[in-house]
Amino acid sequence: MGAMDVVPTNTGGVAIMAQAAHPYSAALMADFLLGSEGAKILGDLEYGSPLKPVSFKHWYPEAGMSMAQYAKAMERWDKMLREIGRK
């Protein structure tokens, strides 16, 4: 199995794919990841959790953007990440 593609995401977020094959299972998984048991597992694996305070200030690059600005910024980030992933 090869490496996964780079996937940008927002801090402390969980996403469910549109038209997921099993949307109710995906919702249960998201609920688990955002709960205390999921947060503990993620913490043990050195991943962050929206439930756990961090010692640094979060950076939200999309703060204050309109939807059009956000869409344009996401296109730029997606293009850059795909170029980096090809190297």
One domain for residues 62 and 50:
no
9 in any annotated domain? no
Asked whether residue 6 is domain-assigned, the answer is no
pTM for this model (two decimals): 0.47
| Residue 10 belongs to some domain of the structure | no
Strand, coil or helix: what is 59? coil
Separation CA 69–CA 56 (nearest Å): 26
- Cβ 83 vs Cβ 4: under 8 Å: no
- Helix spans in the chain (H): 23-34, 36-44, 67-85
- pLDDT per residue, tens digit, the chain (87 aa), is 555 565 555 556 678 888 889 999 999 999 998 888 888 888 788 777 766 676 777 777 778 899 999 899 889 988 988 888 775
